[in-house]
Amino acid sequence: MTLLHLVWGGSIYNATTGGAKIEEWACSMSMVGLVNMSRAQVLASSATARTAVENFHIGVSTFISNTVALEWLKFNAFDISTGKQITDPTVETFITPGIRGANNSNSPPLFTSLKVSMDASTRLKREKGGFYVPRFAAFTGLDGTYSQANCESLRGNAATMISTLEADANIEQVGVWSRRYKSFASSNRLRVGNVPDFMSSRKRSQIETYYSTSI
């Protein structure tokens, strides 16, 4: 088998169209493909990956804010026994202009996110993974959680993205790669919790402005 890593990301802007870049974001996913995949096969599957990711990103029920732009995608082959990249040079696609998310009804804090968890239905940490949806823009209820309907919509769109990837002739299974153990585990379960996640670090820093008064 060939280990494949898909990484996609872009920028967050301060306007729903145009605007200034105020943050960067990225997501990643691992999968296995055919044995000794050629560069031509990697390139072909990269096109499938782009379609899958774009459809996920622009889905109305994915709830990604339209301040979030998908601007690039990387899809490369790695040695499954060592985790070292095989594809040289790196296969990277730039999406110009960037593709915005579809939700313009809510502007949550930049660090608001929601995790799509992937696992093999076991308790082993090395078989658990997933990715964080940037600036998840669904409204929360009065208790501060997302509705079951919104969580299931996101989960369904993520499942569709994975199904599109696994339908590619060169890709066999999406799963979780453990760098520590140099092991790959096929995922058979997707989960989305209803409590917001808050990303504590990004490539760029959001500068806080203080408004004070004498007391």
Given a cut of 70, is residue 200 above it in pLDDT? Answer: no
What is the per-residue burial (b if ≥16 Cβ within 10 Å, else e) of 1-40?
ebbbbbbbbbbbbeeeeeeeebbebebebbbbbbeebeee
For the stretch 173-193, pLDDT in tens is 999 999 888 999 999 999 999
Q: What's the pTM?
A: 0.92
How many beta carbons lie within 10 A of that of residue 136, not counting itself? 26
Q: Give the dihedral sign, CA 79/83/86/90.
A: positive
Average pLDDT value over all residues in the chain? 93
What tokens were used for 116? 């799509």
What is the spatial distance between Cα 119 and Cα 190, in angstroms, rounded to a whole number? 7
Given a cut of 80, is residue 159 above it in pLDDT? Answer: yes
Predicted local confidence at residue 90, as pLDDT: 95
Nearest CA-CA partner of 73 in 58, 54, 92: 92
Predicted local confidence at residue 195, as pLDDT: 95
Instruction: Identify the helix (H) or strand (E) that includes residue 3.
Output: strand 2-13
What is the spatial distance between Cα 182 and Cα 83, in angstroms, rounded to a whole number? 7
For the stretch 56-68, pLDDT in tens is 999 999 999 999 9
Q: Give the dihedral sign, CA 40/42/43/44.
A: positive
For the stretch 91-143, pLDDT in tens is 999 999 999 999 988 888 888 899 999 999 888 888 999 999 999 999 999 99
- Give the whole-number percent of the chain exceeding pLDDT 70: 97
Nearest CA-CA partner of 136 in 152, 112, 154, 160: 112
What tokens were used for 10? 């872009």
Q: Tell me the three state secondary structure of residue 61.
A: helix
Nearest CA-CA partner of 102 in 71, 132, 136, 131: 136
Is there a contact between 172 and 166 (Cβ–Cβ < 8 Å)? yes
Predicted local confidence at residue 105, as pLDDT: 83
Given a cut of 70, is residue 6 above it in pLDDT? Answer: yes
Predicted local confidence at residue 144, as pLDDT: 93
